[in-house]
Amino acid sequence: MKTPALIFDHDGTLVDSELLHFECWREVMAEYDVIVSEQEYIRDHNGIPTLRNAEVFIETYSLSLEPAQLCAIKQSLFTTRSLATPSPLMPTVLKTLQAASAAGYPMAIATGAERADIERSMSAHQLAHYFTTTATRSEVTLGKPAPDVYLLACERLQVEPARGVAFEDTAAGVMSAKAAGLICIAIPNRFSMHQDLSQADAQCDCLYAAYQLAPQLMDSSP
């Protein structure tokens, strides 16, 4: 049996934070008289790094500020809300990480979020010890759906991408993992259930089911 390295997305896969991201963007954009619907957020912004989302909002609504400024405003609000009330874990996350750790699988996080957000989340849920490394948006040239963050995670784990299994919740994340050469299992949630996840090698209802499927997919890969 081939031993896979397990690489997890963060927002929407490990932590149920997509609603908070949406609420923060909606509140920030309201200051510029822009109403962001949940449908628009799901269609254009879910799973995309914050800076790229800022660029899209500015382009779409012809706002007269720099993407970095809008990004900083949203990040500040997100940080404040996260510190006050950390987003909960997604279903079966702890069960999955405990089982994978006991089985000896190397694990990493590959995320479009900033390192400070991940460190705060890992501290709140006491999960940091499960992961060998974390690759974040600020450490790569291009965010998801580009493959950069997954390639960096594999490099730090010292594994070939073909030995990696990615766990993702969004179309952008799936495209990123597949472009990097990993097997990818999608776990859709409220914000991604209507996205095109067809590039994933499989879809599961929860993270633990995806974890159980990972060795089988690895063994059947070329």
Give the tens place of pLDDT for each residue, 9-29. 999 999 999 999 999 999 999
For residues 150 and 206, what is the distance between their CA atoms, to the nearest angstrom?
Answer: 21
Domain ranges of the chain: 5-17+87-220, 18-84
Write down the pLDDT at residue 111.
Answer: 96
Superfamily of domain 5-17+87-220: HAD superfamily/HAD-like (3.40.50.1000)
Write down the pLDDT at residue 49.
Answer: 85
Q: Are residues 109 and 10 in contact, defined by beta-carbon separation less than 8 angstroms? A: yes
Residue 3 has pLDDT above 80, yes or no: no
Residue partners of 139: CB distance under 8 A and separation at least 6 = 115, 149, 152
- Segment 163-183 shows an average pLDDT of 97
Q: Are residues 33 and 127 in contact, defined by beta-carbon separation less than 8 angstroms? A: no
Q: Are residues 156 and 135 in contact, defined by beta-carbon separation less than 8 angstroms? A: yes
Percent of the chain predicted with pLDDT > 70: 99
Cα 3 to chain centroid, rounded: 23
Residue 222 has pLDDT above 90, yes or no: no
- Considering the four listed CATH numbers 1.10.3470, 1.10.150, 1.10.238, 1.10.10, the one that applies to the domain covering 18-84 is 1.10.150
pLDDT band of 209, cuts 50, 70, 90: very high
> Using one digit for the tens of pLDDT, what is the confidence trace for 102-117?
999 999 999 998 899 9
Encode 179-199: b = buried (16+ Cβ within 10 Å), e = exposed. bbebbbbbbbbebbeebebee
pLDDT band of 90, cuts 50, 70, 90: very high
Write down the pLDDT at residue 47.
Answer: 84
Do the two domains 5-17+87-220 and 18-84 of this chain adopt the same fold?
no
Tokens in use for 169?
Answer: 């919740």
Write down the pLDDT at residue 1.
Answer: 54
pLDDT, mean over the chain: 94
> Using one digit for the tens of pLDDT, what is the confidence trace for 125-150?
999 999 999 999 989 999 999 999 99
**Residue spans of alpha helices (H) in 126-189:** 148-157, 171-180
Q: At 18, phi and psi to the nearest 5?
A: -65, -35
Residues serving a catalytic function are: 9
Q: At 45, phi and psi to the nearest 5?
A: -130, -25
- Segment 20-46 shows an average pLDDT of 94
For residues 181 and 176, what is the distance between their CA atoms, to the nearest angstrom?
Answer: 9
> Using one digit for the tens of pLDDT, what is the confidence trace for 186-205?
999 999 998 999 999 999 99
For residues 189 and 167, what is the distance between their CA atoms, to the nearest angstrom?
Answer: 13
Write down the pLDDT at residue 221.
Answer: 78
pLDDT band of 2, cuts 50, 70, 90: low
Instruction: With H, G, I as helix, E, B as strand and everything else as coil, classify residue 64.
Output: coil
Rounded to 10 deg, the angle between the 67-84 and 18-30 helix axes is: 130
